[in-house]
Amino acid sequence: MLTDEKSKVIPLRVGMTTHRVPDPGVLVIFGATGDLTHRKLMPALFDLFCDGKLPQGFSVVGFARREKSNEQFRGEMRAAADEFARNKPGDSDRWDEFSQGLYYHRAEFHESQGYASLGELLKQIDAARGTRGNRLFYLATAPEYYALIVQQLGAADLCKSSGWTRVIVEKPFGRDLASAHELNMQLLPTFNEPQIYRIDHYLGKETVQNVMAFRFGNTIFEPIWNRNYIDHVQITAAESVGVEDRGGYYDKAGALRDMVQSHLLQLVSLTAMEPPVSFDSNAVHDEKVKVLRAIRPFTPERIERDIVRGQYGRGKSMLGYREEPRVDPNSSTETYVALKLNIDNWRWAGVPFCVRTGKRLQKRFTEIAIQFRAVPHPLFAREALQTVNPNALALRIQPDEGIHLRFAAKRPGQTTELREVKMDFYYKTAFGSAPGEAYETLLIDAMRGDSTLFNRKDEVEIAWSLITPVLEYWANAPAPNFPNYAAGAWGPEAADTFLQSEGREWRAA
């Protein structure tokens, strides 16, 4: 029976089972000396190993351009796990066992000989560790190398083996519709669509996955999940940090590319989708694609009316965006976007989806908030109703992951006065631990061949088709008077007024 640190039984964890362990295989990480491997991939793999979720003989090959021995690579990966993993190598005798499956392969991405020698190494690992020819290639490099690496894998016949072969492609997947389509066309001659796993780490978050479970596993919410009962939906991804060490990348991307096209449109589609016929990956993707197709395209008039962009300036003891390292001092890149999406289908007609994201905001939080309509008739005293807001349901994705419901209750005493009260559910409290790291879920799913939490080709291209007209319009229109919000604020004033004009306001964190 599962217990917490004080040996008390955790009721919601009793009877919990783990998923099946994947088949043995080799994960080849291209760009293995980079920040993604250090901060996310290796810590996630070590945690999976310590939790007993990796198969016997599972192995990792780090492919990169720097000279390095196996032992040097293992030492660096131990330091990464020690800093970022839940299970610390220093506290566990399992690191030695795990590190026996770590290998380093030095080669340039463009050198065919490097891929031929990689093939020989993979054969040796198959023989020594029983990995059965199963291959998972992870493109953790800069995007300009994606197509090159895949073409070299195909030329070296590394995509053909006695086992399964798959490739994980990191975000960003293109910069606009044309580049995303081109990248898809470059991948497909080597890998079939079911072998391509386009990753979006937001989809690996336990609380994002719970959106579907909450909607389709409970009869009390799905019947009111429509335009008859919902006034509007708010989706917020607020960050308190600035661009940190990503200035060079971010100044070419901006908030619309970096957050809206991928993460936030995924949250919109999960919130708005119809029930799939099954939890099969294609059935889920089909419903998400229907939502994206139903979003009203952005015309120049709608861009001016329904989208606000911002850029942070100096705040209290905080630099402005244009003062950040590797950022153009005259940059017109947006660090904040707020927009209204209209989904033109039967369920959501007339219900705006209000989406916002930004850096250097007052507080870090990500949530989906369902704002219900007000009661149709003021049964209680009008003055009492003025102090009570309509019902709201918030699915908090980070931090303090959980679900919160706001409703009205009568105040005790000889009165009909109402007060707002809340019902709160917190993952950590209910299940005895916080949700795991998103990359743990995504890596395991890719090993199992489950692409439900990854993006399909048409899904990516439709999302870009919505965002590309906005990018093109902004490229040919003068930027606002940036900066237009101070670091540590909640964004530009224009983002508040375009909701207030319709009698709505952004939720407080």
**H runs (alpha helix) in 13-158:** 35-36, 42-50, 70-84, 95-99, 112-129, 146-155
Cβ count near 313 (within 10 Å): 20
Lowest mean pLDDT across 327-341, 407-421, 455-469 = 407-421
Per-residue pLDDT averaged across 332-348, rounded? 97
The pLDDT of residue 93: 77
Could you give all domains of the chain from N- to C-terminal order, each with its CATH number? 24-170 (3.40.50.720), 203-436+456-500 (3.30.360.10)
Residue predicted with more confidence, 219 or 6: 219
* Mean pLDDT calculated for residue range 97-124: 95
pLDDT tens sequence across 422-466? 888 887 787 776 667 889 999 999 999 999 999 999 999 999 999
State yes or no: pLDDT of 11 exceeds 70: no
Least confident of 337-351, 402-416, 451-465: 402-416
Question: What is the predicted pLDDT for the residue at 355?
Answer: 97
What per-residue confidence (pLDDT) applies to 20? Answer: 73
DSSP strands (E only) in 284-391: 307-310, 312-313, 336-342, 352-358, 365-372
pLDDT band at 174 (very low <50, low <70, confident <90, very high): very high
Look at the alpha carbons of 380, 386, 392, 397 in this order and tell me if their dihedral is positive or negative: negative
Token pair belonging to 75: 């030492």
Which of 318, 338, 141 shows the shortest CA–CA distance to 243?
318
Dump pLDDT digits (tens) for 360-399.
999 999 999 999 998 887 666 555 555 678 889 999 988 8
Has 404 been annotated as catalytic? no
The residue from 105, 201, 263, 285 that is catalytic is 263
- Can you give the pTM of this predicted structure? 0.90
45-64 per-position pLDDT tens digit = 999 999 999 999 999 999 99
Give 129-141 pLDDT, tens digit per residue: 999 999 999 999 9
Give pLDDT, residue 13.
46
At 74, list the tokens.
């293992």
Residue 146: pLDDT over 60: yes
SS3 411: coil
Average pLDDT, the chain: 90
pLDDT at 209 over 50: yes
pLDDT at position 3 is 46
Q: What is the largest CA-CA distance in the chain?
A: 85
Query: Are 326 and 247 in contact, with CB atoms under 8 Å apart?
Result: yes
Q: Is the pLDDT of residue 125 over 70?
A: yes
Asked if the model's pLDDT at residue 9 lies above 50, the reply is no
Residue 504 dihedral angles phi and psi, to the nearest 5°: -120, 165
Q: Over pLDDT 90: what percentage of the chain? A: 71
Stated as kind and residue range, the H or E segment containing 440 is helix 438-448
pLDDT at 92: 63
Distance CA 198, CA 169 (A): 5
- Model pLDDT, residue 278: 86
CB contact at 8 A, 272 and 353: yes
Q: Is the pLDDT of residue 100 over 50?
A: yes
Q: Are 58 and 131 in contact (CB under 8 A)?
A: yes
CA distance 352 to 286: 22
Span 488-497, average pLDDT = 94
How is residue 395 written in tokens?
A: 């699915």
Q: What is the pLDDT of residue 380?
A: 65
User: What's the pLDDT at 347?
Assistant: 97
